[in-house]
Amino acid sequence: MTPNLPQRADALRNHQRIVAAARALFAERGPNLTVPQVAEGAGVGRATVYRSFPTKEELLLELAREGFRELEDLTLSALAADEPYEALAGYVPELLDRLARDRGLAAVFFEGRLLPAGRLVKLIGLLVEAAKASGQVRPDAGVVDVRVVLCGIVRQLIVLDERDPAVWRRYADMILAALRR
C-alpha cells in the first residue's frame, strides 16, 4: 500500500477490515494464518488482501510491528519507573499475559528474528540491569539470561499450546525467581 497516495474510502475501509481480521487470526493462530482465512474474516477477496499486502510476510510483519510497538511502550514505561525492581516485578507478568493472549506475537517474540523483537529483548535486559542496582536481582544476570529464560519459557508454552493465562503467570513468577538474588 502506498502511504502518500490518497485512497478511496472503500479501499481504506477494506484495508482496515483486513488488518482487523488478520490481527484476530494472528492472535489466535499465530503466524500460520493464511491469506484466504484473512480474506474470509475481512469479507473481501484474496486479491483485495494482496493489494494491501503483496505477500503474507508483509502482512505478518505489519502485525508484529504493531504488537511490538505496544510492548516497547510498556517496557519503556517500566524503564522510566522510580523503583526498577518493582517495575520489573510488575512488567514480567504483564508481558507474559500479553503474549499468552497473542499467539502470533509470542511466536515472533521467541524467534527474535525481527528487529523489533531483538530491540525489545535488549530493553528488557536494560530493565534487568537497572533492577540490579536495588540488590534484588542476581549480579550476574544479563541480556543473554533474559533471552534464555524468558524466550525459552515463551517457546515451550507455545510448543505445548498452552493458552491458560494462569499458567503463563506462574511462569512469570518463575522468571522473576530465576533473576532474584
- pLDDT tens-place string over residues 20-47: 999 999 988 888 899 999 999 999 999 9
Name the residue ranges covered by the structural domains of the chain: 9-54, 66-179
Q: Which residues of 86-115 are buried (b: 16+ CB within 10 A; e: fewer)?
A: ebbbebbbbbbebbbebbbbbbbbbeeebe
Give pLDDT, residue 10. 84
- Cell (9 digits) for 37: 482465512
Q: Could you say which DSSP state residue 147 is in?
A: I
For residue 62, is pLDDT > 90?
A: no
Mean pLDDT of the chain: 89
Instruction: Identify the bridge partners of residue 180 per DSSP, sorted by sequence position.
Output: 137
For residue 175, is pLDDT > 80?
A: yes
Give pLDDT, residue 78. 96
Share of the chain above pLDDT 70, in %: 94
What's the CATH number for 66-179? 1.10.357
Q: Look up the pTM and report it.
A: 0.82
Q: Does the domain made of 9-54 have the CATH classification 3.40.50.1000?
A: no
- Other CB atoms within 10 A of residue 128 CB: 22
- Determine the Cα angle at 1 with ends 54 and 30, to 5°: 55
Give pLDDT, residue 63. 87
Provide DSSP, 13-39. HHHHHHHHHHHHHHHHHGGG--HHHHH
For residue 5, is pLDDT > 70?
A: no
For 107-166, what is each residue's pLDDT tens digit? 888 776 566 778 888 899 999 999 998 899 999 998 889 889 998 999 899 889 898 999
